[in-house]
């Protein structure tokens, strides 16, 4: 290869390295994707709609305050219809869309239906309202905010 060819080759490699560094920098600025899944239609949709509205407000506040470590949060909302046979489909859609956490499944039946997803280790699921016994004492990626009723009763017996 001639000196001019080597020089052009070096310039191309240098440009590719710069593009790669810039692309990596841009990739790190992608928003954190937060999934929300709840029954937004049909029976018991009032709790799902209230939960969605609360998460929207929280994401707006987080973004207004500068985001999470400088990155904005993006909310992806899905209606799980509070239908146990549809829950895993909704979770799979959220995971495919890039959600790293799912907030929701507002009823115990919906949260229990999401257990296979929590067991898979693909995504953290945080249910702010579910409290079924099946959700207690597990070693998975399902976090419930409200403890199971038997745990609360056990405390009152102390």
Residue by residue, DSSP assigns 92-145 as HHHHHTT-SEEEE--SHHHHHHTHHHHHHTSSEEEESS---GGGTT--SSEEES
Structure confidence at residue 91 (pLDDT): 97
Output the furthest CA–CA distance in the chain (Å, rounded): 87
Distance linking the first and last C-alpha atoms of the chain: 84
Taking only the tens place, the pLDDT of each residue in 15-67 is: 444 554 444 455 558 999 999 999 999 988 999 999 999 999 999 999 999 99
101-120 pLDDT tens trace: 999 999 999 999 999 999 99
Closest by Cα among 90, 89, 119, 122 to 104: 90
| Beta carbons of 117 and 138 less than 8 angstroms apart | no
pLDDT of residue 158: 54
pLDDT in the model for residue 149: 72
The CATH superfamily holding the domain 31-157 is Response regulator (3.40.50.2300)
Which two three-digit tokens encode residue 9?
């080759």
d(CA 43, CA 60): 28
**Bridge partners for 144 per DSSP:** 127
CA 150 – CA 4 distance, rounded (Å)? 78
Instruction: With residue 27 as reference, give the H or E element that holds it.
Output: helix 3-27
Domain coordinates in residue numbering, the chain? 1-30, 31-157
- Which residue in 114, 117, 120, 119 sits closest to 132, CA to CA? 114
Q: What number of other Cβ atoms are within 10 A of residue 42's Cβ?
A: 11
The overall average pLDDT reported for the chain is 84
Neighbouring C-alpha atoms within 13 Å toward the C-beta of 4? 0
């Amino acid at each position: 290869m001639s000196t001019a060819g080597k020089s052009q080759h070096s310039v191309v490699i240098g440009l590719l390295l710069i593009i790669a560094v810039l692309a990596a920098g841009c990739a790190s600025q992608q928003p954190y994707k937060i999934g929300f899944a709840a029954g937004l239609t049909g029976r018991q949709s009032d709790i799902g709609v209230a939960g969605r509205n609360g998460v929207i407000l929280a994401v707006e506040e987080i973004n207004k305050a500068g985001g999470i470590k400088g990155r904005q949060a993006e909310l992806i909302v899905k209606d799980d219809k509070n239908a146990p046979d549809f829950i895993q489909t909704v979770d799979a859609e959220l995971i495919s869309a890039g959600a790293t956490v799912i907030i929701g499944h507002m009823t115990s039946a919906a949260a229990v239906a999401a257990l296979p997803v929590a067991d898979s280790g693909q995504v953290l699921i945080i249910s702010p309202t579910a409290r079924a016994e099946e959700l207690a004492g597990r070693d998975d990626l399902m976090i419930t905010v409200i403890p199971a009723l038997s745990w609360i009763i056990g405390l009152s017996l102390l």
